[in-house]
A and B are shown apart, each in its own frame.
Chain A
Amino acid sequence: MEEIVRVNNLVKRYKDLIALDNFSFSIKKGEIFGLLGPNGSGKSTTINCILSLLTYDKGEVYLFGEKMNVNRNDIKKRIGLIGQNVAVFNELSVYENIDFFCGLYINDKATRRKYVEDALEFTGLNDYRKKSPKKLSGGLIRRLNIACGIAHKPELIIFDEPTVAVDPQSRNNILEGIKDLNKNGATVIYTSHYMEEVEEICSRILIMDKGHEICQGTADELKGQIKNTENVILNVKYIDESDLEGLKKIHHVYSVKYADKVLTIRFSGGKHNISHVLDYISEHSINYERIYSELPTLNDVFLEITGKELRD
């Protein structure tokens, strides 16, 4: 399979801070590659270095098999970028915006017109083509932002946290769109600190922290790497210290954590784990409001490797 992106030993320093520390990875054609990590882990820096928006201290970036640098317009032509912030001109209409940004890539008038129509169609903005972006709702303006990034039909599309501060409905919309783009043949890089999204759409995931790679693989592969197999979660108003110790002694339990009135019990292997917990709770007459069982998430992967939560 053709390698679309190859990053070798990238090092980027901001004065004292090392943002990227010998960071390497590669992406194959047709993948939706997820770059997952907490805020400040170096995701955006990676993207900006790939795009030559930032200079880096060491390492190489290859796109479509060729070395990328700031003057490689032939490579830039094949890339689309959708950032976490809306990047459109408020003074131009929806159509004019898409046309302008598409025009930076496509010179032929007829082709461009068709591409802009396609983008409008794809993002469902057909009815708003003459509207000013200022008059669009939050969800619609996100769609415009995407339309501007993909109108020229790039082979590699980079989504840099496109769902930050987006309502759930628009978020689903965006995620569906990304899947569709991928189906149409585009390779996608998707960065986020929302593990659910990454898990949902990405064919391969790289988790990073402090400029390092933590691990990579498909979601299942990643989860398979850790000992956690199941989490039982209870909403409990109050629990004794002794009960926490007691819960720990249940078979297969390796961690019990109580915080913010939520009790999380982690299991490594075993079956019917939830009924064991229920047995203990009724024995010790602990009051709870809700109990449920969960398969491990990417957050657990992150937690187990770094010892901290992904969410914060």
Chain B
Amino acid sequence: MFIRTYIAYLKKLIRTKSVVFWVIVFPFALGTLFYLAFGSIYSSSRSNPIEVSVVVSDDAIKEYKDINPAATDKVTAKDLPISLMLKELKYEDDSPMLKLFYEDKDKAKKNLKSKKVKGIITVNGINDIILDISENGLTQDILANIISIYKSNTSIIEEKITSMIESGNLKVSDEKNTSMIETGNLKVSDEKNTSMIESGNSEVSEEIFTPDTEYTEYVTNKALMGDNNDPYLIYFYNLIAMVCIMGSLSVLDCVCSAHSSESYEGMRICVSPVNNIIMNLSIFAACLTFQIAVTLITLIYLIFGLGINFGGNLGYIFLTAVLGTLLGCSLGFFIAGIHGLKLKTRNSILMWIMLGGGFLSGLMFANMKSIIEEKMPLINRINPSAVLTDAFYSINLYGIGDRFMRAIYYLVILTVLLLSASIILSRKKEGGVYASV
């Protein structure tokens, strides 16, 4: 009985061309669109110059002229030490790190407001430098760090000069000294996303300063992410979660079509002496098989067709996807088992869970899941999309360990709960007559 029904429903599913078409088209189309939208984001953001306004006050130029007798009247804002340093900043690939706009305060403010520039560097004196930003972010941090390194170096040099003067080693009028303030080629390496700013040797009087201003990398970086650190992966996790949960729709359709209230075939099945639990389970198994195939084809397309690196062990990724499909199908089974609902209502419920759940796990608003985790963590434990994306995330993030196992536990617990509830509900046949008076 079980196997016969299973085979019959599997045939029915595979031969329903419109269903097969849409079920396959959905992940392929969305996957490709996601790929197009996000495929090149990461690489493109890598070595784009950061746009910065530079506002140099007349006082700063004057101060520079005062302490640097070598400076002629022709000295402009672009000749100041800070300007030279900013200009020299390079990415790994030797492309300039900053794009500088020398302009007046008002124009700079306007540009900052319209987000044309990321920040304004205001130079009021050799060591009096202010950074204006309009929001917090990585680029702003890089700018702040550049300034802090400059400030640190200048103040150290100032300190040195002072201490030398005090100890009588240095004459104040020494022409060379003033130009020493110029910090040389700061190099910023962007390898592995770590914009480490190294300042090289300052172009200063070698005999005094050279060995001291070296920049040591003190902190050992330990990235949290695993194999693939592209944050847009979360959208693909969500896509797979959606495909898995879409399995619920076909289970719903098939199980309900065996209800006497939903189809004539269902009436026929209901008047036959079949065991409802076995009948429903075999329909469920047929849909599950079909959906697992869909999920696997989707994954294969994403991984091997589009070349998306999910990070972590491929076997476990497939395993998680299969478990996710089981979860999705169980969800459909459960909704189909609730007595006394119209098919349309059941469908709406599932669409709500699929899309609403997708929204809550970050399908449209990437930070959503962490916001929920903070405010209402329970939702992340029972929202199928969140449970699934979490599992994928932790494979990539933590590898196969406790964290992943915990995600899988939630997945399995939720599945078992839904499945057992469905079986209990299946013991009683759904009554009613299709298209009755």
Contact = CB atoms under 8 A, between A and B. Distances in A.
Direct contact of A and B (CB under 8 A): yes
Interface stretch (A101-109, A187-195, A300-308): A101-109
A88 B265 contact: yes
Nearest to B431: A55
Contacts, number: 84
Interface string A92-115: 100010011101110100000000
A76 B271 contact: yes
Given A81-B267, A87-B268, A91-B12, A70 B273 contact: no
Given A19-B437, A53-B267, A85-B264, A104 B272 contact: yes
Interface in A210-263: none
A89 B271 contact: no
A53 B265 contact: no
A125 interface: no
A54 interface: yes
B346 to A, nearest CB: 20
Interface residues of A, number: 35
Contact of A105 (B5, B263, B273, B433): B273
Given A44-B437, A87-B263, A89-B265, A96 B8 contact: yes
B14 to A, nearest CB: 8
Interface residues of B, number: 29
Interface string B1-42: 100110010011101100000000000000000000000000
A288 B264 CA distance: 49
Contacts of A37: none
Contacts of A83: 264, 267-268
B271 A79 contact: yes
B271 A53 contact: yes
A74 B275 CA distance: 11
Contacts of A77: 273
Interface string A48-78: 1001011100000000000000100110110
Contacts of A51: 270-271
Interface in B228-283: 260, 263-265, 267-275
A86 interface: yes
A152 to B, nearest CB: 8
A186 interface: no
Interface in A1-28: 14, 19
27 contacts: A44-B433, A44-B436, A45-B437, A53-B431, A54-B431, A54-B432, A54-B433, A73-B275, A76-B272, A79-B271, A81-B267, A81-B268, A81-B271, A85-B435, A86-B264, A87-B264, A89-B12, A89-B265, A91-B12, A91-B15, A92-B12, A92-B15, A101-B272, A103-B4, A105-B272, A105-B273, A148-B268
Top 3 A-B residue pairs of the complex, sorted by shortest distance between their CB atoms: A87-B264, A73-B273, A104-B272
